[in-house]
Amino acid sequence: MAEAHGVLVIGEVSDEHLHNTTREVLAAGRALADQAGTTLAVGLAGTSLAAAASEALHAGADHVYTVERPALLDGAIELHLAALAAICRSVAPAMILLGRTAQGRELGPRLACRLGVGLLQDCLRVELDTASGHLMATRPVYGGNVLARVRCMATPQVAALRPKAYAPLTPDATRQGTVTPVSVALETSKARVTIVRQARQDSAGVKLEDASIVVSGGRGLGGPEPFRDLEELAGMLGAALGASRAAVDAGWVPGNWQVGLTGKTITPDLYITVGISGANQHMAGCSGAKVIVAINKDAEANIFREARYGVVGDWQAVLPAFMEAIRGLK
């Protein structure tokens, strides 16, 4: 690889548009590039990339490098990896950032291994140590109990950022930049996984990770039926529904409702929890909430250490009164 310079963001495309998490990673990359006095590039692999490339420039990138092939339509991880590795060799970045999405968790370790370097996983913050030139990151360890400061020791320096760790920049339609196709031969025979069928699950209402208000239930609800009450409350507030891992593991609600270290990361203005004890794994997914309101009958529950407002009591008595009060306000 040539002499390393600049910051490269590994981008994702969803329905021919730039993925929201890529916009967030671009905000982090823009700050790093400005701090280092260098350029910010985005690498995109897939099909029909014109709109996403333009959106990447508007979101803060200086350059966009693309690999556009029909073979990438089905999202074969090995082919995407080959395409992105070719972009990395072409750009020769000093730092590489990507989002720790479902695709990022698959690609990040493989890409770092192919480049012969390590990977900083699940980063909440990244910054440049100007004295040493090392990429520094803050990430949770021990199930979110401790925040560790870590750094990269080899080049290129690669970090995967947790979704919602950064707010995306306001798009600037006047920003100009270059879009450069990268030539790479993709051997479809190397794709070891074949996607037989893709099933889309339609969801009504507000998307959990984008919601400004979230209402979540946990083990303390005792079963799936009480989630109907939470659904009514969410409807009154225009909120999204979430759950703890215990509720998901019990089969009470779908897996895509899970908030936490192994679920979704949320950053709502208001987070209402009912029957959630507040285990560290759960709090790791909602630590960015501006205001937490907790209802739990256990006065010693960990959730009360994090909540701005808390009610100690049986949810079956507290929740109806709470909902009646909201109806009165409306």
235 with 152, same domain: the answer is no
Residues contacting residue 316 through CB under 8 Å, at least 6 positions apart: none
13 with 129, same domain: the answer is yes
Distance CA 48, CA 44 (A): 10
Q: Domain range holding 126?
A: 7-190
Distance CA 142, CA 246 (A): 19
Residue-level pLDDT at 191: 75
Q: Is residue 203 part of a domain?
A: no
Q: Which three-class secondary structure string do you get for 245-311?
A: HHHHHCCCCCHHHEECCCCECCCCCEEEEECCCCCHHHHCCCCCCCEEEEEECCCCCCHHHHCCEEE
Q: Is residue 195 part of a domain?
A: no
Q: Is the per-residue pLDDT at 261 higher than 90?
A: no
37 with 164, same domain: the answer is yes
Q: Is the per-residue pLDDT at 199 higher than 90?
A: no
Q: Is the per-residue pLDDT at 203 higher than 70?
A: no
Q: Is residue 157 part of a domain?
A: yes
- Residue 143's φ and ψ, nearest 5 degrees, are 65, 25
Last residue of a domain, one of 190, 222, 240: 190
49 with 150, same domain: the answer is yes
Q: Is residue 201 part of a domain?
A: no
Distance CA 315, CA 312 (A): 9
15 with 69, same domain: the answer is yes
Torsion over CA of 66, 69, 71 and 77, rounded to 10 degrees?
0
102 with 143, same domain: the answer is yes
181 with 248, same domain: the answer is no
Q: Which helix (H) or strand (E) holds 328?
A: helix 315-329
Last residue of a domain, one of 159, 190, 221: 190
Residue range 136-155: average pLDDT?
85
Residue-level pLDDT at 201: 65
Residue-level pLDDT at 2: 58
156 with 282, same domain: the answer is no
Are the C-beta atoms of residues 119 and 97 closer than 8 Å to each other?
A: no
143 with 70, same domain: the answer is yes
Strands 270-274 and 213-217, sheet pairing:
parallel
Residue type, 160: A
The structural domain count of the chain equals 2
Gyration radius of the chain's alpha carbons: 22
43 with 139, same domain: the answer is yes
Q: Is residue 178 part of a domain?
A: yes
Tens digit of pLDDT for each residue in 58-96? Answer: 999 999 999 998 888 776 888 899 999 999 999 999 999
Q: Is residue 1 part of a domain?
A: no
Output the CA angle 21-263-257, nearest 5 degrees. 100
| pTM exceeds 0.75 for this model | yes
220 with 296, same domain: the answer is yes
Shortest CA distance to 103 belongs to which of 192, 19, 199, 200? 19
Residue type, 110: R
Q: Is the per-residue pLDDT at 143 higher than 80?
A: no
We report the CATH number of the domain holding residue 98 as 3.40.50.620
Q: Is residue 255 part of a domain?
A: yes
We report the CATH number of the domain holding residue 222 as 3.40.50.1220
Cα–chain center distance at 2: 31
Residue-level pLDDT at 265: 87
Last residue of a domain, one of 138, 159, 190: 190
Q: Is residue 163 part of a domain?
A: yes
**DSSP code string of 78-122:** HHHHHHHHHHHHHH--SEEEEE-SHHHHHHHHHHHHHHT---EEE
273 with 322, same domain: the answer is yes
